[in-house]
Amino acid sequence: MEDDQTISVVIVDDHALLREGTRQILERAGGFTLVGEADSGEPAVALVAEHCPDVVLLDLRLPGMNGVEVARRMVQVSPSTRVVILSAFDEIDYVRAALGAGVAGYLLKTTPADELVGAIRAAHTGVVVLDPSLSPHVLRPPGGGPVTSGMEGLTTREREVVNLVAQGLPNKAIASQLGISPRTVEGHLNHVFEKVGASSRSALVRLAMVNGLVGEG
């Protein structure tokens, strides 16, 4: 029986050697339960629908279905699952498309084992994880233009709250850091959700990252 204290993971990659290597990394680290593996899109989505794992490690280049579409379908069938792309491709267009599909992170296959483990654990807690080499590009709006997704209408306090949400802090910790009450934090977040059209904290963080808000100040 699966240990409730472990993070359940599904690995999706069309290369058996890479799946094996990732499996060994997780086994050595401890605290993870591998609930399935797949080498293409349709079986991967079926696995996620069946097991609702905590985290999916997903390659972008898969036979039969584009990895971005696979990610989008996974998010639809299991909204609580955190999908993290693990890819050899660092093109920013891929990263933006993946974030737009609802993934919780984008890492490169060159990521060291210990950093991969840390990123998976962070993604599980609600943090959006990005390879450090990608972050400066993703945080810059396309073409260097202005932010245009409702983010420009946020107040200074609302932007502070969004930044702390992006760091993975719960409302109580945000309230403590800003010197306000948790109820006030909740009120700010409700206003932010309405202004930008986000339906969850993770969706808000993805939107803030794509539009260059995260990291301001």
Among residues 68, 102, 133, which one ends one of the domains?
Answer: 133
Q: Which domain holds residue 19?
A: 7-133
Tell me the chain's radius of gyration from C-alpha atoms.
17
CATH of the domain at 118: 3.40.50.2300
Q: Is the pTM here over 0.75, yes or no?
A: no
Domain count, the chain: 2
* Cα 164 from Cα 169, distance rounded (Å): 6
Residues 146 and 129 in one domain: no
Among residues 133, 151, 176, which one ends one of the domains?
Answer: 133
Tokens of 1: 């029986």
Tell me if 216 is assigned to some domain: no
Residues 25 and 124 in one domain: yes
Q: What is the pLDDT along the chain (217 residues), one digit of tens a residue?
A: 344 579 999 999 999 999 999 999 999 999 999 999 999 999 999 999 999 999 999 998 888 888 889 999 999 999 899 999 998 888 877 888 888 888 888 899 988 998 899 989 988 888 788 887 775 555 544 444 443 446 667 888 988 898 888 888 889 999 999 999 999 999 898 888 877 766 677 777 777 776 666 644 3
Residues 92 and 199 in one domain: no
According to DSSP, the residues that pair with 84 across neighbouring strands are 57, 105
Answer left, alpha or beta for residue 212, where phi above 0 means left and psi between -120 and 50 means alpha.
left
Residues 59 and 148 in one domain: no
Whether 151 contacts 191, CB under 8 Å: no
Residues 195 and 155 in one domain: yes
Residues 67 and 118 in one domain: yes
